[in-house]
Amino acid sequence: MAKDQEVAVATTQKTEEKKNRLKEAFTKDYKYEGLVLLILAIIAIILGALIITGVLEIPGESDSSNGVFLIGGKPNSTIFAWILIVLGIFSLILSIWPYYKPSIFEVKRVTWPTKKTMLSDCINVFIYSIGLALFFYVADLALNGIFSLISGN
């Protein structure tokens, strides 16, 4: 009985070690991982766009003896191009995400203004913008008048 328990404990420990190693492999940050993913994402998006626009063609099996199986030909290459674009966009988001992740925690800590303060600030900005527009309108009229007097028109 004790031997069975020891075997069960050893088996549980081995599976825990495997799970920990797997978790560590997926969560470990490599130095240039984001940069490589960003470059690959951009390449995938560009290739997909080139295939969709017809600049880059993938020959199908019926086109020649060197056709590409499954992704070649007109409808298959379009589907493949859209898959490339979607995967590229997904990879782009994944590569940029670590830079924006700390911002989310900061936004949660922000003290947002009340409705009254927000309305007051919006009215102030609107009044200031109208005043500034009027100032530039009057300045334009004055400068046009001065230049028309100088030029004699």
64-87 in b/e form (b: 16+ CB < 10 A) is: eeeeeeebbbeebbbebbeebbee
The tokens for 116 are: 């009254």
Q: Please report, in tens digits, the pLDDT of each residue of the chain (153 residues total).
A: 566 666 666 677 667 776 677 667 666 777 788 888 899 999 999 999 998 898 888 776 665 556 666 666 677 788 888 999 999 999 999 888 888 888 888 888 888 899 999 999 999 999 999 999 999 999 999 999 999 999 886
The tokens for 138 are: 């009057």
The reported pLDDT for the residue numbered 77 is 81
Cα separation of 71 and 76, whole Å?
5
The tokens for 126 are: 């609107």
Q: Are 42 and 92 in contact (CB under 8 A)?
A: yes
Long-range CB pairs of 31-40, under 8 A, 24+ apart, other chains included: 34/95, 34/98, 35/95, 37/91, 37/94, 37/95, 38/91, 38/92, 38/95, 38/96, 40/88, 40/91
Positive or negative, the CA dihedral 36, 92, 40, 46 is negative
The tokens for 107 are: 């936004």
Question: What are the residues whose beta carbons fall under 8 Å from the beta carbon of 74, sequence distance 6 or more?
Answer: 60
The reported pLDDT for the residue numbered 45 is 95
